[in-house]
């Protein structure tokens, strides 16, 4: 089976699938986009790099004899998710999406949702002077021209696009602890946080830290969903795979 990955969730899923006694023997191939210099490498097989669009992914599914695929990519990785739906439908490979619930505000949060990073750049500039950009390396372009605000830019690898003139770059990979996030916001006197609605636990501490300090958060909404059926958690994926196999076993 193929796990479209590049996330902590995908890593955890591949680990669970490889360890599953119920599904054994099962060949698990994780696919990474190849963007980060030293990615977390999950157990099982791993391939890296784009497939070459829908046609390339369809050819891969066919050549490798993939029986089932799970889209465990990041909620903002909309292209690969859409490609997976089209390619799997073309080849007749069952596809399941691994859900990552959206973040929802709780009392005390000062969130403003915006539709995209361009809107986030406009709003963050209106809201504060010292802006913490936690949207990764992609989507930084709309901030590059803002020269009258200071930015703390956090990413796993160095961004390949221009950054705002006044910035500090922090290279770090989650998960991040609440105490560290609080210290970071205080140390840099941050007054606005910009985050994507990634969901999940690994990077949620920044939201708790912002709430604790009464800091505004500009939350970029997710792109539209791909259309694949989804489940939450590795156990549900294992159930789905077991059910896919059941008719064959019964014969």
Nearest to ligand NAP by Cβ — which residue? 50
From 48-56, 86-94, 114-122, 167-175, span contacting ligand NAP (CB under 6 A): 48-56
Residue 6 sits in the site that holds ligand NAP (CB under 6 A): yes
Q: Does 159 bind ligand NAP (CB under 6 A)?
A: no
Q: Which stretch in 1-9, 112-120, 183-191, 200-208 sits in contact with ligand NAP by CB under 6 A?
A: 1-9
Q: Smallest distance from the beta carbon of 168 to ligand NAP, in angstroms?
A: 21
Which CB atom, from 13 or from 80, has the smaller least distance to ligand NAP? Answer: 80
Window 94 to 133, contacts with ligand NAP (CB under 6 A): none
32 binding ligand NAP? (CB under 6 A): yes
Cis ω on the peptide bond leading into residue 175 (within 30° of 0)? yes
- Is residue 134 involved in binding ligand NAP (CB under 6 A)? no
Q: Measured between alpha carbons, how far is 14 from 73 in angstroms, rounded to an integer?
A: 12
Is residue 33 a contact point for ligand NAP (CB under 6 A)? Answer: yes
Using rule CB under 6 A, residue 234 touches ligand NAP = no
Q: Is 31 in the site for ligand NAP (CB under 6 A)?
A: yes
Binding letters toward ligand NAP, positions 49-78, x by CB under 6 A: -xxxx--xx---------------xx-xxx
Instruction: State the residues that interact with ligand NAP by CB under 6 A.
Output: 4-7, 31-33, 35, 50-53, 56-57, 73-74, 76-80, 83, 136, 138, 196
């Amino acid at each position: 089976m193929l796990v479209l990955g590049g996330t902590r969730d995908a890593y955890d899923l591949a680990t669970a699938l490889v360890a599953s006694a119920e599904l054994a023997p099962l060949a698990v191939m994780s696919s990474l986009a190849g963007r980060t210099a030293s990615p977390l490498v999950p157990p099982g097989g791993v391939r890296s790099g784009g497939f070459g669009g829908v046609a390339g992914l369809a050819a891969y599914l066919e050549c490798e004899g993939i029986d089932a695929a799970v889209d465990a990519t990041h909620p903002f990785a909309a292209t690969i998710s859409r490609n997976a739906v089209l390619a799997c439908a073309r080849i007749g490979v069952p596809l399941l999406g691994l859900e990552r619930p959206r973040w929802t505000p709780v009392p005390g949060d000062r969130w403003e949702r915006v539709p995209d990073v361009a809107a986030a750049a406009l709003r963050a500039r209106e809201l504060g002077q010292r802006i913490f950009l936690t949207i990764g390396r992609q989507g930084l372009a709309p901030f590059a021209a803002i020269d009258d605000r200071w930015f703390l830019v956090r990413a796993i690898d160095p961004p390949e696009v221009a950054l705002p003139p006044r910035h500090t770059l922090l290279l770090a990979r989650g998960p991040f602890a609440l105490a560290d996030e609080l210290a970071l916001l205080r140390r840099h006197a941050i007054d606005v946080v910009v985050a994507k609605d990634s969901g999940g636990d690994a990077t949620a501490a920044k939201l708790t830290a912002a709430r604790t300090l009464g800091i505004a958060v500009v939350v970029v909404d997710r792109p539209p969903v791909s259309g694949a059926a989804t489940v939450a958690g590795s156990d549900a994926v294992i159930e789905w795979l077991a059910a896919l196999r059941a008719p064959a076993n019964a014969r």
